[in-house]
Amino acid sequence: MKRRTAREKAVQCLFQIDMADVPVEEAVNLVMEESTESSQYLRHLLDGVLSNLTEIDAEIKKYLRGWQLERIANVDRAILRLAFYEIMFEADTPEKVVMNEAIEIAKLFSDEASHRYINGVLASFLQTREAQKA
């Protein structure tokens, strides 16, 4: 499975887990039901996000101007959680790739304005990280 596809399916799983408290295995089975591809990278992403969810959510909250994490659309929250996970914990994936993938996934699954909002949150996060490195 391509990484892009795994990310899309991870967002779908995170959405189900967040919205309906669907067990992880059931969410994976639902998004993979017509696929014969390996779900190894998808499971890696889900395990990473869910294992680090408290830390990820705390970091996301720092960049939500005028919003609370709980009030953001569930699909946007899933996209942000996945992107923040990859940026924070997956050093082998370039940050710009993660940002671009998140924006494209938002265009696919969310409303017209969401990709701009996600872009803004991620850009602020990346600028802060860059400033901390300097």
Contact criterion met (CB below 8 Å) for 53 and 81: yes
User: Does 17 score more than 90 pLDDT?
Assistant: yes
Measured at the CA of 31, the angle between CA 77 and CA 20, to 5 degrees, comes to 50
Contact criterion met (CB below 8 Å) for 38 and 96: no
**CATH topology (fold) of 3-133:** N-utilizing Substance Protein B Homolog; Chain A (1.10.940)
Cα-flanking dihedrals φ and ψ of residue 33, to 5°?
A: -60, -30
Q: Is the pTM of this model over 0.85?
A: yes
* Chain centre to alpha carbon of residue 53: 11
What is the pLDDT, as a whole number, of residue 24? 95
What is the pLDDT, as a whole number, of residue 85? 98
Please list, in sequence order, all residues whose beta carbon lies within 8 angstroms of the beta carbon of residue 122, skipping any fewer than 6 positions away.
80, 83, 87, 98, 99, 102, 103
Mean pLDDT of the 25-41 span: 91
User: Does 101 score more than 80 pLDDT?
Assistant: yes
**pLDDT band, very low/low/confident/very high, at 112 (cuts 50, 70, 90):** confident
Short-list 20, 19, 28, CA closest to 47: 28
What is the pLDDT, as a whole number, of residue 130? 86
User: Does 104 score more than 90 pLDDT?
Assistant: yes
What is the pLDDT, as a whole number, of residue 35? 83
**pLDDT band, very low/low/confident/very high, at 127 (cuts 50, 70, 90):** very high
**pLDDT band, very low/low/confident/very high, at 36 (cuts 50, 70, 90):** confident
Contact criterion met (CB below 8 Å) for 113 and 128: no
What is the pLDDT, as a whole number, of residue 134? 74
